[in-house]
Structure 1
Amino acid sequence: MARIKYGCYLLEDAHCYVITNADLDYAEDVTDESFTNPPIKMTVEAVDRDWESAFDAEENPMNHSKLCDNLMAVLRGEMPEFRLTGVNVDETGIYLVYYSTLPPEKFYDGTEGYSGGQILVHGNYTLLFEVEYLDGSPVKQYRVESQKAEDGDNRIQVTEYVGGHKYRKLEFCDKHPGIPYAPGGQCCIITEY
């Protein structure tokens, strides 16, 4: 096994690390493939508070009321009409993007125009995301860990796995003295295996 470690600034700090079930550029984007591919599977491995305070759907006023009112059931996978299609990770944390599989007329009866929502995750946590492919490609896994440091900053780390084997780790950080600063970018230490 080989290993290389380097630092860089990722572009687009607000969308610097995106996981989707349809190989899209942004977590909020959807295509037909978003609904034909299996949804992203999320496993909560650790969380430092109760789920009601860790997962927040109320912060985004565009979220559909059905998602907000049934958030715990959506997170547990008990409402298959909602599917996790995207995950956005940056230095401040993570948000989950859910969309409805129901046709708009059945979902919101014309009263709400957005058929999904974004869920923020608060606190210290470890979440594992699995993306499956219909073409038989190996399952990709992403373990996202957030820990609040003593200085108050979040420490976000993403570890990527393909076919159960770790192949890359990304550690988001503030400015790093050994990496030339790039305005508007997100500092990241990357280890490849």
Structure 2
Amino acid sequence: MNKWAVIYSSVTGNTKMIAEAIAEEAECADIFRVQEAPRDLSGYDIVALGYWLRLGQPDPLMLKYLPQVKGSKVVFFQTHGTEPTSEHAITSFARAGYNLGDGCEILGTFGCQGKINPVMLEKRKNAGPDDPHGGVKAQERWKKAASHPDAQDIEAAKELVHKMEHKLVLKAKFLARKQQGK
């Protein structure tokens, strides 16, 4: 089993919940709030970085930390009020990757909806229909997000651990075969 560093930023508890599920499933993991995360990650085989979305990218605390992550195998996980397959959610993974330090390899990603901060919801209630955070569709999305992360999200986050571990096994086998074929 690989050693994991699970580093997260959370305001409402959504991302923390996913981080805890990943750390529990990984068996050999240390979990850190981003504010207390180590700079030296060389003792970890996999670095899982979790954040909530702000302006279509990782939150400010995680954005500040990402450039410090160097030479690591990285898994991103994120929580947000939008649909996990939305352009907003998918683009945010690219923005996170763009902000990583040198020499990182992105192994995989995971995203799920999460409860939106009540302060933010109050601000958005008066958004007009032309605002992407306003109108009836947005209110329906907020209602759906309020029930997440749910048990299915937690199980999917745990399954991510096994998928990433398996991916590394397959990669090692591929590289060994490639080395033998020289």
TM range (shorter): under 0.3
Structure ranking higher in helix proportion: 2
Structure ranking higher in strand proportion: 1
What TM-score, normalized by structure 1, do the two folds share?
0.22
Report which structure shows greater RCO (CA 8 Å, sep ≥6): 1
